Amino acid sequence: MAETTLTHTSQLDRPEGWRGIAADWASDQRAFKNVSWGKAMMWIFLLSDTFIFGCFLLSYMTARMSTRVPWPNPSKVFALHIGGSEVPLILIAIMTFVLISSSGTMAMAVNFGYRRDRRKTAILMLLTAALGATFVGMQAFEWTKLITEGVRPWGNPWGAAQFGSCFFMITGFHGTHVTIGVIFLIIVARKVWRGDFDTGRPGFFTSRRGHYENVEIMGLYWHFVDLVWVFIFAFFYLW
């Protein structure tokens, strides 16, 4: 009886609306208790980056739908001449395949990291970095081709002037993320290969002894970069 009365009283004292939600989270002793600060900070960074990329894509859609000048046809702009014929979006398709494949190798690296298999984890992370570098190299080729054909941030020979600024801003920002990811993948893979996570060797990007959580943190970042590219591919190249 006393227990029932206590439960009823606590429900009456519970604030309503947003204050009630905040009270529930504040009283939860399990939500973030076992999460490392590195993983929590990565999630916060990815959340903020989601807003940035979302603003970029919304700005692109607004510019495209509001302009009265015809928008360049992506199938023509991003086509390559192979064997005397024009193949639309072939380079973009290969870039997408490479980046999605790198997400698979990164997932396998995290899996072997949980198993504390240093050799396979390091090799798969280096393979992921190689695929990421390949993507950046193809993106550099794409930029060079379009710049040679006259695309600039302030104009292009195929239609709406906003096309160039949207293209360089969105793909350049994403390419910068991939490049940074490649650098950190190599750094973490080197530490995995040396056994820093097994011995607890002090230094940057070294987690607690016996824990490979930095591999998982790199996996969170890399999967986010791949997911963003899916949206860029859909909105920018297929629309």
Q: Is the dihedral of CA 123, 126, 132, 137 positive or negative?
A: negative
Residues 80 and 23: their CA atoms lie apart, in Å, by 58
Residue positions counted in the chain:
239
pLDDT interval class at 76 (50, 70, 90)? confident
Residues 124 and 127: their CA atoms lie apart, in Å, by 5
Residues 125 and 121: their CA atoms lie apart, in Å, by 6
Residues 225 and 173: their CA atoms lie apart, in Å, by 11
pLDDT of residue 1: 47
pLDDT of residue 194: 85
Q: Which of 101, 102, 103, 125 is nearest to 113 (CA)?
A: 125
Q: For residue range 89-105, list pLDDT tens digits in order.
A: 899 999 999 999 999 99
Other beta carbons within 10 Å of 219 = 22
pTM > 0.75: yes or no: yes
Which DSSP state fits 207?
-
Q: For residue range 108-128, list pLDDT tens digits in order.
A: 999 998 888 889 999 999 999
CA distances 163 to 29, 70, 109, 169, 178, Å, are: 50, 10, 38, 10, 22
The tokens of 157 are what?
Answer: 């020979």
Q: What average pLDDT does range 30-55 have in this prediction?
A: 82
Cβ 102 vs Cβ 132: under 8 Å: yes
The tokens of 35 are what?
Answer: 């999460």
pLDDT of residue 207: 58
> SS3 for 152-166, per residue?
ECCECCCCCCHHHHH
Residues 215 and 207: their CA atoms lie apart, in Å, by 10
In this structure, what are the phi and psi dihedrals at residue 191, rounded to the nearest 5 degrees? -70, -35
Q: Which domains does the chain have, with CATH numbers?
A: 40-237 (1.20.120.80)
The tokens of 101 are what?
Answer: 């494949």
Q: What average pLDDT does range 195-201 have in this prediction?
A: 69
Cβ 178 vs Cβ 185: under 8 Å: no
pLDDT interval class at 203 (50, 70, 90)? low
In the predicted structure, residue 231 carries a pLDDT above the cut 70: yes
pLDDT interval class at 22 (50, 70, 90)? low
Q: For residue range 130-184, list pLDDT tens digits in order.
A: 999 999 999 999 999 999 988 898 888 888 889 999 999 999 999 999 999 999 9
